[in-house]
Amino acid sequence: MTDNTRYDVVVPGGGLAGLAAAIQLAEKGYKTLLIEKNYYPFHRVCGEYISEESRPFLEKLGIPVSGLSLPVIRRLRVSAPDGTCLVQPLDPGGFGISRYWLDSLLAAQAKAAGATVWEGMKVQEVWYENGWMQIRLPGTVIKSRLVLGCFGKRSLLDLKLNRSFVREKPRKLNNFLGVKYHIEWDDPEDLISLHNFKGGYCGISRIENNQYCLCYLTNANNLGMSNNSIGQMEQSILSGNPFLEKIFREAKRVRQEPVSISQVSFASKTQVEEHMLLVGDAAGLISPLCGNGMSMALHGSLLAVQAAVPFLEGHCSRQEMEAVYTKRWKQEFAGRLRTGRIIQSFFGDPWLSKGLIFAGNKLPGLTSWLIGKTHGENFV
């Protein structure tokens, strides 16, 4: 096997976690290969809100967030299916940017940092053998000292690895459908809204170019009850919330067809599989209503790189690296995931969501406390 097929690090998956990790590793001088099945730029199912804790990190990666004229989001609105709502300050708040734009900026930065980026290629299998990670691609196998698995919420690699969450039967935590549109709308720029409907919730917030991201998560049963028609589901179920009824009736879609993903699971996941460090949604998925998945992916990339460098430099064993990464990941994120699951149990239920909103209006500190439990501090 030639040097051209050997790398220090291979990163399957070019989302936020993968791109951020590739930039950091390439800047440190490691021979880094990132593999993405799509071609940049492209759309992903994502709420496209980033909490302020990530701004300094993105700036350090070379993304001039403060100079991009992005909408600054400082207020939160939550509505129950019947339209009952609360509006409260969102501290520390965040900013909106589409994945279409942000991922392409990060991909360009990864290439500029010296990483090799292969687009339009799918990793078929990853395994460990004789001290090397083996990565199977169509027609070839390459080797690397380390693999950072950043392949998202659910992928072919999850099935190949026979991960526990893909073996579970459909249940409350693992059978969701995500759908996203970009729309032209007229909400205040500083407001992010979470609108409940029976069996799910929909987030709406401003991104670049005076557009809004509309992204919702629904129990897959809602689609089944709607003849497997997303449009019918939006009219018969989501539009039961008066806020959503008005949006689906009046908003103009920038792209007529939505981006969607099925079989979304919030079940617990492992952070290491087959000696591969898992990062971002591949390691654990926080409820989108918490508004912090993008920041967790970016922060997770930093934790993975910090654990990987001593191994790549020969200062610790592979097992020690894996133990350090798993421990630090759980310290940073396990509590947020637990809180997210608890909050999600209230959302999508007409009575529980209304009760939570009533409590939030009576006790404004409750909402701030819950936000604090799902967010972190500046991690640079």
Q: What is the mean pLDDT of the chain?
A: 92
Distance CA(16)–CA(172), nearest Å, equals: 27
pLDDT at 282: 94
Residue 172 has pLDDT above 70, yes or no: no
Q: Please give the tally of structural domains in the chain.
A: 1
Does residue 365 fall inside a structural domain? no
Token couple for 372: 């604090």
- Four-residue CA torsion sign, 244, 250, 251, 254: positive
* Whole-angstrom distance, CA of residue 168 vs CA of residue 163: 9
CA angle 80, 86, 88 (to 5 degrees): 145
Each residue of 272-307: pLDDT tens digit? 999 999 999 999 987 776 668 899 999 999 999 999
49: nearest Cα among 17, 16, 72, 20:
72
Q: Is residue 247 part of a domain?
A: no
- C-alpha–C-alpha distance, residues 258 and 254, integer Å: 10
Establish if 248 belongs to a structural domain: no
> In sequence order, what are the residues at sequence separation of 6 or more whose Cβ sits closer than 8 angstroms to the Cβ of residue 126?
12, 133, 134, 135, 136, 147, 149, 157, 160, 161, 274, 276
Specify the pLDDT at position 344.
81
More confidently predicted of 319 and 170: 319
Domain that holds residue 10: 3-71+88-169+266-343
Nearest to 155 by CA among 124, 117, 120: 124
Q: What is the mean pLDDT of residues 183-199?
A: 94
Q: Are 319 and 57 in contact (CB under 8 A)?
A: no
pLDDT score of 1: 38
* Model pLDDT, residue 2: 44
Per DSSP, the three-state class of 207 is: coil
CATH number assigned to the domain comprising residue 127: 3.50.50.60
Average the pLDDT over 159-167 and give the result: 88
Q: Which residues pair with 195 in a beta bridge?
A: 79, 202
Find the mean pLDDT for residues 191-218.
95
Share above pLDDT 70 across residues of the chain, in percent, rounded to a whole number: 97
pLDDT tens column, 325-348: 999 999 999 888 888 888 888 888
- Average pLDDT of the residues in 250-256: 93
362: tokens are 């009576």
pLDDT in the model for residue 120: 97
Structure tokens of 72?
């600054």
pLDDT band at 174 (very low <50, low <70, confident <90, very high): low
Q: Torsion-angle region of residue 223: left (phi > 0), alpha (psi -120 to 50) or beta?
A: alpha
Cβ–Cβ under 8 Å, residues 323 and 81: no
Residue 277 lies in a domain: yes
Q: What 3-state DSSP class applies to 219?
A: strand
Residue 256 lies in a domain: no
Contact 15, 72 (CB under 8 A): no
- The answer to whether residue 295 sits within a structural domain is yes
* pLDDT grade for 241, boundaries at 50, 70 and 90: very high
Question: What per-residue confidence (pLDDT) applies to 142?
Answer: 97
pLDDT cut 90: percent of the chain above it: 76
Is residue 144 assigned to a domain?
Answer: yes
Residue 371 in this model has a pLDDT that exceeds 80: no
Asked whether residue 61 is assigned to any structural domain, the reply reads yes
- Identify the pLDDT of residue 309: 98
| pLDDT tens string 84-130 | 999 999 988 999 999 999 999 999 999 999 999 999 999 999 999 99
Cβ(357)–Cβ(86) below 8 Å: yes
Residues comprising the chain, all counted: 380
Give the residue among 70, 78, 94 at the shortest CA–CA distance from 292. Answer: 94
- Average pLDDT, integer, range 24-38: 98
Confidence of residue 170 (pLDDT cuts 50, 70, 90): low
